[in-house]
Structure 1
Amino acid sequence: MTQYPIRNHDDAYANGPYIPESELYPARWMKKAAAFRAHMEVEQKARLDLRYGDGPRNTLDLFLPGVVPRGLAVYVHGGYWRAFDKSSWSHLAAGALAHGYAVAMPQYTLCPENSVGGIGREVAAAVAFAAGEIDGPIRLSGHSAGGQLVTRLISGTPLLPGEVLGRIAGVVSISGVHDLRAMRLTGMNEVLRISPDEARAESPVLLEPLAAIPVTACVGLAERPEFVRQNRALYEMWRGFETPLRLMESAGLHHFNIIDGLEDPEHPLCRAFVGTDGWPASPDKASLPSPQEQTTTQL
């Protein structure tokens, strides 16, 4: 268990050694994602490798429901800004598709070829492109580094055009790394190259939300303690603003299986993503949850 103050930041952010059979997950993800894409292509409900920018990795996959989309759901993958692409996560679109949302899954240029700030700008371009393809409300979700990226889209110096930002109806950060200052203390920073200035500019916990967009901060309590702290930090730092906020925590989920709920349309995580769980009761007049409410929502 992580001890505070942290003596070993590399261990504090190491997930694999603390997850049984962690080495099997990447192959499982890729197999499920490939099968899902193949099925969607047969159904003619997949538009793959749509280009949103000039870079080799500036592409996204767009999956379509069997009806006129009720809106756009965007999932941004993690990998500590230095690993993975869109091809491992396609199956996670299943839940939102069942609710009638079109689902966009972008990939981006990784570090060290890119910076964390540069990745944020690429993700913003991807969201803006997808928003031009699909009408209606936009819902964002991201895992790990993706959690930082989606919360950065709605805070600090604007990255999105105003008309796109105005369409965002909700954001779910799953095990997000919201304070980049901690990343500077890991060996990963040899690749990430996060400077003090970039850490301040790109850490959502240090930024002000741009609008009163409902935000769900989600984490598994079987994760490394630093992810639990990072998740709660976003909640605590943004509570002083008008942004409706809630925590979703589960004692039974770790960093690699917490995203599985996005596949199931009835799972609380998926329902939070697409906004069918009744929270907040009135998005235009939602109040912040009380401290008692913050730990009662379970995945």
Structure 2
Amino acid sequence: MSDKPLDLEAEYNNRAAVPDHPVVMARWKADAETARAAHPPTALPYGSGEREVMDLFEAGPDAPVAVFIHGGYWQALDKSWFSWVALALLEHGVSVAIPSYDLCPNVRLGKIVSQMRDAVELIRARTGKRPVVFGHSAGGHLSACMLSEGRAGGAVAISGLFNLEPLVPTSLNAALGLDAREAAALSPVHWPVPNGSTPGGTVLDCVVGAAETAEFVRQSRDMADDWGGKGVDTRFEALPGLNHFTVLDPLSDPDSSLVRRIVELAKA
């Protein structure tokens, strides 16, 4: 067994770990533009800020809604990159809301959590039901936060970050500005678990690419084990051959098990 210390920078810097990530991200952008042309969304403000808007792709007037929260380490990207995730779910009669949010360092991470509360609560007010929330990377973190607080009917966290403390010594923290105390306070692994006495759902799926760094795989496995041991209905799955960027590929396939799982939760 090696005593070599864990290289947190290498483990958590996904763009460095996947050199061809620009190719995948360019595909996201192109597919998103195609999706918006084929199925123009409704812009739905959830706050007064410029980025406090979500795109709502509607499957029908009474369709259940799933909320997708994008990644980018809380410091990059917006809703316009991810319109394509809606298309497969629309085929199953599930509407999709994709919010943007303010980015660090312009705001603190706690503000982004608050913004996602507002976005999810707006969907709940429109439908009368807590939506299923699914998200990637930073969006996986935010999805787990929404489930903990009883705002979601279930959550699917894809390559999620549930313990933020390992980020503190990395370059990724330059924009976040987290100290150890704030990182711990904003880590959903330390938050109350949803249970039978908590409004909302009690299902958390932790999905990760099997080709991701060991730390990302560990975070998903540990979160599923931790909350599962406390009574949450958790599932852990490592998708073979997929890295931190290609792990989203199954969301484009209406027949993928990941899409079918989100549909199942949304319609439950």
- TM above 0.5: yes
Q: Which residue of 2 aligns with 1:64?
A: 58
Q: In the TM superposition, what are the counterparts of 1:243-282 in structure 2 within 5 Å?
A: 243-275=232-264
Alpha carbons of 1:118 and 1:277: their partners in 2 closer, same or farther (altered >3 Å)? closer
Task: Give the whole-Å Cα distance in 2 for the aligned partners of 1:249 and 1:150.
Answer: 18
Return the match for 2:85 from 82, 92, 95.
Answer: 92
Is 1:235 the counterpart of 2:221? The answer is no
Q: In the TM superposition, what are the counterparts of 1:48-63 in structure 2 within 5 Å?
A: 48=43, 50-63=44-57
Task: Give the whole-Å Cα distance in 2 for the aligned partners of 1:216 and 1:4.
Answer: 32
Deviation at 1:225, TM superposition (A): 1.1
Q: Which residue of 1 aligns with 2:168?
A: 184
Deviation at 1:135, TM superposition (A): 4.4
Query: In structure 1, what residue type is equivalent to 2:234?
Result: L
| RMSD (Å), alpha carbons | 2.2
Return the match for 2:189 from 190, 205, 211.
Answer: 205
Task: Give the whole-Å Cα distance in 1 for the aligned partners of 2:266 and 2:146.
Answer: 23
Deviation at 1:54, TM superposition (A): 1.6
- Identity of matched residues, %: 35
Q: In the TM superposition, what are the counterparts of 1:165-176 in structure 2 within 5 Å?
A: 165=151, 168-176=152-160
Task: Give the whole-Å Cα distance in 2 for the aligned partners of 1:121 and 1:92.
Answer: 23
Task: Give the whole-Å Cα distance in 1 for the aligned partners of 2:157 and 2:83.
Answer: 18
Deviation at 1:75, TM superposition (A): 0.3
Does the CA-based 8 Å contact 2:144-2:155 persist in structure 1?
yes
Query: In structure 2, what residue type is equivalent to 1:56?
Result: E
Q: Which residue of 1 aligns with 2:76?
A: 83
Greater Cα shift, 238-247 or 83-92: 238-247
Secondary structure at the aligned position of 1:53 is classed as: coil
Q: Which residue of 2 aligns with 1:147?
A: 140
Paired residue total: 262
Q: Gaps spanning 5+ residues in structure 2: where?
A: 197-201
Does the CA-based 8 Å contact 2:66-2:266 persist in structure 1?
no
Query: In structure 2, what residue type is equivalent to 1:190?
Result: A
Task: Give the whole-Å Cα distance in 2 for the aligned partners of 1:175 and 1:263.
Answer: 17
Q: Which residue of 1 aligns with 2:215?
A: 226
Give per-residue Cα distances to partners, 1:104-125, cap 9 Å, x unaligned. Answer: 0001000011112111110110
Is 1:47 the counterpart of 2:42? The answer is yes
Secondary structure at the aligned position of 2:168 is classed as: helix
Deviation at 1:69, TM superposition (A): 3.5
Q: Gaps spanning 5+ residues in structure 1: where?
A: 284-299
Q: Which residue of 1 aligns with 2:199?
A: none
Q: Which residue of 2 aligns with 1:38?
A: 37
Alpha carbons of 1:188 and 1:123: their partners in 2 closer, same or farther (altered >3 Å)? same
Q: Which residue of 2 aligns with 1:9?
A: 8
Deviation at 1:83, TM superposition (A): 0.4
Return the match for 2:122 from 105, 119, 129.
Answer: 129
The alignment's TM-score, normalised by the length of structure 2, stands at 0.91
The alignment's TM-score, normalised by the length of structure 1, stands at 0.82
